[in-house]
Amino acid sequence: MIPIKKINLHKLSMKLKNPFSTSFGTLQNKDFFIIEAIDVNNNHGYGESVAFLSPWYTEETVQTNEHIITDFLIDIIRENNISHPDDVNKLFSSIRGNRMAKAAVEGAIWDLYAKQKGITLAEALGGIKTEIDVGISIGIQPTIEDLLNTIHYQLKQGYKRVKLKIKPGVDIELLHEVRKAFPDTPIMADANSAYTLNNVELLKQLDDFDLMMIEQPLAHDDIINHAKLQKEINTPICLDESIHSYEDARKAIELGSCKIINIKIGRVGGLTEAKRIHDLCRENDVAVWCGGMLEAGVGRAHNIALTTLPQFNLPGDTAGSVHYWEQDIITPEVTANDGLIHVPDKPGIGYDIDWKAMKHYTINKITFDF
């Protein structure tokens, strides 16, 4: 790779158009970092951190990301020669965990590498698709009527499948109403770890609704009980929170804990690890889709590039920018038509930063000269 001369850490604060509710709470404000890696030829690569303000999804937060990036990861990049972005994954393995922090920096280096080569990020990753299928993830709504209206609206936008959030008490009746109103729509449910094996009788009832899958029904750290549950229900289990690495995926597949894996770049520590998990799933016939973290445009662009890999055979959660933001930070914004996103063909992530919007949302900027 052409050497890096500078890394900028832009800290942004954005507000979601609509609050997003899951089994563990409601989210509206999104603070995050855009990592900008600049090489000696003035190419610019961008990555986005996806940790939230509080540690309910994983243990990472915006603040832990800042700490790990500024106090550890930047030094590792500065002190080593990187010949390929895959090297970053190895170099960062000297730091435990903190995968979202690592993914943000690694993502900027992947984008920079693709731009140095004059190829798209999708090509750099070995992607093959020119358009990708997308679905929509709908948070828990105040009433079933609100939910039915939202589903109706999103289906009119063309999204290929609907993901609903469920939690104890907001599950069977809700799915019953949704299935009645939308008998043929591809529907899945995401529990974000809200159930235990004590709920097995309730979880068996999910089989009545012909769901594409149930995402992360049980504890984030329990692939054994997911394997037990999968033996009891026909609905395919998809793991999200439980999979942080290739090793986690290998163990879950071997145990039979899931039939599907949701890959999120941040949760698994970057694109290199995401690609390894993808390849493992391909070898084992495990279906894969790309999850979302309510990203702004840069993160969205990375998800799109990753989804061009062949085993991403189910619609992902990377919906159009307009679903999340009054104004995204990239131009053009991500648009989905008929449930399809056209993969951009410009080098790297394929979208430009909208600097006016970036400035509007920026809280501060830290520069690291190399």
Q: Does 336 bind ligand OSB (CB under 6 A)?
A: no
> Out of ligand OSB, Mg ion, none, which partner does residue 317 contact, by CB within 5 to 8 A per kind?
ligand OSB
Q: Does 111 bind ligand OSB (CB under 6 A)?
A: no
Q: What are phi and psi of 268, to 5 degrees?
A: -105, 5
Considering only residues 20 through 59, tell me which ones interact with ligand OSB, judged by CB under 6 A.
Answer: 57
Q: How far is the CB of 195 from Mg ion (least distance, A)?
A: 13
Q: Does 328 bind Mg ion (CB under 5 A)?
A: no
**Is the C-alpha dihedral spanning 214, 216, 222, 223 positive or negative?**
positive
Q: Does 190 bind Mg ion (CB under 5 A)?
A: yes
Tokens of 202: 């309730």
Nearer to Mg ion, 240 or 273 (CB): 240
Residue 297 · residue 334 · CB < 8 Å = yes
From the list 217, 291, 315, 344, which residue makes contact with ligand OSB (rule: CB under 6 A)? Answer: 291
| Closest C-alpha among 331, 351, 290, 334 to residue 127 | 290
165 catalytically annotated: yes
Nearer to ligand OSB, 86 or 215 (CB): 215
Q: Which stretch binds ligand OSB (CB under 6 A): 35-43, 88-96, 110-118, 285-293?
A: 285-293
Residue 309 · residue 275 · CB < 8 Å = yes
Q: Does 292 bind ligand OSB (CB under 6 A)?
A: yes
**Interface with ligand OSB: number of residues (CB under 6 A):** 11
Q: Is 272 helix (H, G, I), strand (E, B) or coil?
A: helix
Alpha-carbon span 183 to 197, nearest angstrom? 29
From the list 39, 48, 273, 317, which residue makes contact with ligand OSB (rule: CB under 6 A)? Answer: 317
Rounded (10°) angle between helices 297-307 and 271-283: 30
Alpha-carbon span 257 to 238, nearest angstrom? 9
Nearer to ligand OSB, 154 or 311 (CB): 154
> Out of ligand OSB, Mg ion, none, which partner does residue 57 contact, by CB within 5 to 8 A per kind?
ligand OSB
Nearer to Mg ion, 115 or 267 (CB): 267
Q: Which entry of 165, 228, 275, 365 is annotated as an active-site residue? A: 165
Q: Where are the beta strands (DSSP E) in 121-210?
A: 131-133, 136-138, 162-165, 187-190
Q: Does 48 bind Mg ion (CB under 5 A)?
A: no
Nearer to ligand OSB, 89 or 192 (CB): 192
DSSP string, 31-58: EEEEEEEEETT--EEEEE----SSTTSS
Considering only residues 137 through 156, tell me which ones interact with ligand OSB, judged by CB under 6 A.
Answer: 137
H/E stretch holding 19: strand 4-22
H/E stretch holding 88: helix 86-92
Tokens of 304: 């799109």
Q: Does 61 bind ligand OSB (CB under 6 A)?
A: no
Q: Is 60 helix (H, G, I), strand (E, B) or coil?
A: coil
Q: Does 295 bind Mg ion (CB under 5 A)?
A: no
Q: Which residues bind Mg ion (CB under 5 A)?
A: 190, 215, 240
Give the footprint of ligand OSB on this chain (CB under 6 A). 57, 137, 190, 192, 240, 291-294, 317, 319
Catalytic (active-site) positions: 165, 264
